[in-house]
Amino acid sequence: MGHYVGSLGSDASDLIETSGLLAAPIMAKYEARFEKLLADFLSMESALMAAYKAIRVTPMQLATARGFKDRSETRRDFLLPM
C-alpha cells in the first residue's frame, strides 16, 4: 500500500481493499501510541519544526493529520477526484 500513484489494475483492487479490514484491529490498537511517539519525535529541534512553529502547527497536529487517502473508505472514493 502507498507505493504507487494513480490507479492499479482490477486484479489488485480486492487485495488492497481487504488489507484495510485485515489490519484495522492492529492499527486501532497502536494508532494513539504511534501518534504520541511521532509527536515526541517531531518535537525535537529541527529546521522542519522551526518552519512549522512559525505558522503555529504543533508536532501533535502533524502526527495526527489525516490525508485524503486515509479518509477514503474505498479505492473508488479515493480515485473519484483524480
Q: Assign 5 a pLDDT band (cuts: 50, 70, 90).
A: low
d(CA 82, CA 80): 6
Instruction: Give the mean pLDDT of 11-30.
Output: 78
Please check whether residue 75 is in contact with residue 16, taking contact to mean a CB–CB distance below 8 angstroms.
yes
d(CA 39, CA 45): 12
pLDDT at 4 over 70: no
Reported pTM: 0.44
Report pLDDT for 68.
65
Q: What are phi and psi of 74, to 5 degrees?
A: -135, 165
Range list of β-strands (E), 2-82: none
More confident residue, 28 or 67: 28
d(CA 6, CA 13): 12
